[in-house]
Amino acid sequence: MYSRLVSSSRTAVIGLTAVMALSTTAFAGPIDDRQAAMKNVGKAMGALAAIAKKEAPFDAGVVNSNATALADNVKAAKDHFPEGSATGDKETWAKAEIWQNKADFDAKADKAVEAAMAMAAVTAEADFGAALGALGNACKACHTDYRRPKQ
């Protein structure tokens, strides 16, 4: 009798832990993960912008590594917008419209990845400005529709 009680309460604890782990993945996790990925996107974009502003020299290797990191992080962010993560226990600037237009949102992420890959392929300084313009437009296209501005 006693041992049955112990084992059933242990089962209940295991069950509770599983539920807690689940709710963490479903709500707190993706907001943190996509914001962390987007911060990395912002960091890589900052390094590219510094070249455009002549605060850093044009260096094809630096361009390639930042553009590649940017593409990888947009891809990672795209995977962290599951249904139900419009709100969570952390503030998010993601608009609810994302989940009403998920195919369009995903397409905009893919376009940004494409623009980043095109940037990664730039080896001549003469091609850098146009690639950066296209990349910037890809960020803006998504943020305008799907991200609340930070005040």
Binding site for ligand HEC (CB under 6 A): 31, 34-35, 38-39, 41-42, 45, 70, 74, 92-94, 105, 108-109, 112, 135, 138-139, 142-143, 146-147
In angstroms, the CA 64 to CA 121 distance is 7
| Cβ-based nearer residue to ligand HEC, 60 or 141 | 141
Residue 98 CB partners (closer than 8 Å, separation 6+): 81, 86, 105, 146
Burial degree of 151 (CB within 10 A; 0-12, 13-18, 19+): exposed
| Cβ-based nearer residue to ligand HEC, 51 or 94 | 94
In angstroms, the CA 74 to CA 103 distance is 16
Structure tokens at 19: 């539920």
| Cβ-based nearer residue to ligand HEC, 13 or 107 | 107
Our measurement of the distance from residue 57's CA atom to the centroid of its chain's CA atoms, rounded to an integer in Å, reads 28
Minimum distance, C-beta of residue 107 to ligand HEC, in the bound complex (Å): 8
Minimum distance, C-beta of residue 9 to ligand HEC, in the bound complex (Å): 38
Backbone angles phi, psi at 108, to 5 degrees: -70, -35
| Cβ-based nearer residue to ligand HEC, 70 or 120 | 70
Minimum distance, C-beta of residue 133 to ligand HEC, in the bound complex (Å): 12
Answer positive or negative: Cα dihedral of 117, 120, 124, 130.
Answer: positive
Minimum distance, C-beta of residue 42 to ligand HEC, in the bound complex (Å): 3
Minimum distance, C-beta of residue 37 to ligand HEC, in the bound complex (Å): 8
| Cβ-based nearer residue to ligand HEC, 42 or 84 | 42
Structure tokens at 37: 């990925």
